[in-house]
Amino acid sequence: MVKRKKLNDALTLIFTPHFPYNAKRKTKNRHRALLGIGGNVGDVLRRFEYLFVFFERSPLIDIVETAPILKNPPFGYLEQDDFLNTLILVETELSAQALLRYVLHTEKRFGRKRLFKDGPRTLDIDIIFYDTASVESERLTLPHPGWMQRPSVLIPLAMMKKAVV
């Protein structure tokens, strides 16, 4: 069942069976990472639900919490459909670099094609935070640049209980 709550003319919250979600069990993984997920091509709600199940079955990460989904306008390249975005808090034993490889592999598995910067996409997975790490490399910057200016991060984050910034 999907429920919608209009925040204003441009923003709508969407509630699905797995967004929001809070795990009942504790994990023994060492690291916490906040993943931002988004997409605007195809049946994104269904894809997010499949992604939840995929992550739930993964031996590499444990889902701790998810946020409601936010429907919001694109930024950067504006000539495209609105995006759906949400956050997934995970615990893992993977290093930040190994988690990046894992999420990039997951994007490909779900049909991601990188056409151009800020372009339409089936699935985008970004690491917003990894513990309290600060990383600046060619492939990974943590915390994710610009997260503080993006409603697609701030609004779902404000609705989470366990994700502390």
| Domain 3-158 CATH class label | alpha beta
Whole-number mean pLDDT of the chain? Answer: 91
Checking if the pLDDT of 165 tops 70, the result is: no
Specify the pTM.
0.92
Confidence of residue 89 (pLDDT cuts 50, 70, 90): very high
Rounded CA-CA distance 4/13 in Å is: 6
pLDDT for res 79? 86
Closest CA to 23 of 60, 49, 56: 56
- The larger pLDDT score, comparing residue 64 to residue 24, is at 64
**Residue-range domain boundaries for the chain:** 3-158
pLDDT tens-digit series, residues 6-37: 999 999 999 999 999 999 877 777 899 999 99
